[in-house]
Chain A
Amino acid sequence: MRARLGKAENSEYPMQTKALQDLIDAFAKLPGIGRKSATRLAFYLVRQPEEVSQELADAILSAKERIRFCETCQNLCENSPCERCSKPVRDENVLCVVESPQDLIAIEATREFHGRFHVLHGAISPLEGITPNDLKIRELMARLTESSFTEIILAMNPSIEGEATAAYLKRLIEPLGITLSRIASGLPMGAQLEYADKATLGRSLLDRRTL
């Protein structure tokens, strides 16, 4: 029943030279970039001096070459174990499991969490062909048996996929006897009830706490 409102995409573009068209196509494959933005980027690069393109190409290639998974937290890094894993932290015994490196950055920016991280690189979604084996779950379990964590925070998104991943991990981790928690979901800080969407408001009522 939910439908999106908005403009239909205009797919009729006049012919470009082959090289330019290839560049546009390559940009358009990137997330968040539509045909229009791709065309704008391609024309911009073609008009700039060659160094600009060279720098961009080098940056992309070297990032691809040098970035790898940290052997401990599985976050992206240049040297494994990563800088974050090599430094001592205040709460060595708490581990926060997140879906993506971006989520890790978001949680770190709160400065409320002082433990260790683990990045899964996705959430379980059989529909998109993502099974538990495609995520860094095996690495997580190995890490849990080696280290002495006393609490695991499951910080997956409150989506169907995130909840399924959290439930799946719960089944795996529970037998180890480690305290498990799930991040709360509900109203954002400073929010006004009347503007909250129904799903969030409903959830915050279901997950209410006693004072």
Chain B
Amino acid sequence: MFIETLEIEHFRNLSSVHLEFSKGFNVLYGANAQGKSNLLEAIYTLSFLKGFRADRLSDLIEFEGERARLSAVVCTGSSHTRLGVELEAKCRHAYVDGVPCARARDYLGLLRSILFVPMDVGFLQAAPASRRTMLDRMVFTLKPSYLIDLEQYQKVCKQKSAVLRAENPDESLLDVYDAQLLQLGTRLLEARYEYMVLLSPHVARVFKAIFDSSCHCVPVYKSSSLFDPVVFDSDSGMIGLDVLIKSYRDALEKGRSREIARQQIVLGPHRDDWSLSLDGRQAKFFASQGQQRAMSLAMKIAEIECLRVEADIEPVFLLDDVSSELDPVRHKRLFEYLNALTAQTFLTTTSKEHVHLESIGRIFRVENGSIVHEQQ
């Protein structure tokens, strides 16, 4: 899928912008604080109905403005869809071909985008919750029913926690919720496992191709109920899904007294974590800063490849200021790789010299909220 045209009104510092994009590479260059990232955020908002830097919707609206409007024509295969998003201080409206969309769930997914921002490089060191969100989002993209299971799982968790907080927890009620958790939790584990199996070879291949051909980088799943992490390495034998599920079932059965004592749910998919391993060692502790940066970028590219190969979905790739994260050699190899990638890509940079692309589709100069297409 790709974005053909984009119209922006009163979005952050972009008052009024009308742009036509290339199907391939779109480079946005300009000094800092001119509006490059704001353009990426506009595309991101059209995708996810929220910004990636703003906590509140009002932060996305131009200073002293009342509402922001975004509109894009998105091409998927041979069909054209006009997506629209209207943001006000406290609410947002989504439109598909001019028709209001009542539920966010019906809208999300119409424009798939994958974003890489400089702060993503810290994902290995971040809190587990943010990594879980990242994993959940990746799984959900490939398997939409995952979101429904996840929501239901979280609802049951809340109900069970309420029982645990009561003075004398009703054990038969806990049994009921444990049965529900086991059913839903198993489905979550299955979906995550399935996804990791699919993703793993892509991560390994991308990392080798761009960053280090001698290193083997694969994802690792850390179950809260299993001592050993599951390393998703197809070359060596790995812990099977059945072991993962069995350990969860055992933990639910045996954890009762601990849960009552601590008045909270101690184990389960909502406490699980994941990471990357580099040559069999935990990347979080052993990989260098540079390697961790490379890994975070490799993860994003692997995610794109995984979507393309497994689901035939070609997302839009949003790369914010990537040049600041890599050394020149890897930088060059990254661009060689991106050149071969067929996804529509938006790239921001402070200088055109940072971009080594054989076939740049379009170059835009961003200056003080105006974006101008530069003829080559």
A contact set with B: CB distance below 8 Å: 1-8, 124-127, 131-132, 160-161, 163-164, 167-168, 171, 198-199, 202
Contact = CB atoms under 8 A, between A and B. Distances in A.
Given A2-B151, A5-B101, 15 more contacts: A1-B108, A3-B104, A4-B104, A5-B92, A5-B93, A5-B102, A5-B103, A124-B173, A126-B160, A126-B163, A164-B177, A167-B176, A168-B173, A168-B176, A199-B145
A199 B148 contact: yes
A3 B151 CA distance: 12
A8 B90 contact: yes
Given A164-B180, A171-B175, A1 B147 contact: yes
A198 B172 CA distance: 32
Contacts of A7: 91
| Chain A interface main SS type | helix
Interface string B62-103: 000000000000000000000000001111111000001111
Nearest to B165: A126
28 contacts: A1-B108, A1-B136, A1-B137, A2-B103, A2-B147, A3-B49, A3-B104, A5-B49, A5-B100, A5-B101, A5-B103, A5-B104, A8-B90, A8-B91, A125-B159, A126-B160, A131-B173, A160-B156, A160-B180, A161-B159, A164-B159, A164-B173, A164-B176, A164-B177, A164-B180, A167-B176, A171-B175, A198-B144
B140 interface: yes
| Chain B interface main SS type | helix
Interface of B: 49, 88-94, 100-105, 107-108, 136-137, 140, 144-145, 147-148, 150-152, 155-156, 158-160, 162-163, 166, 170, 172-173, 175-177, 179-180
Contact of A163 (B100, B103, B180): B180
Given A8-B90, A160-B155, A198-B144, A2 B179 contact: no
B49 A160 contact: no
Nearest to A164: B176
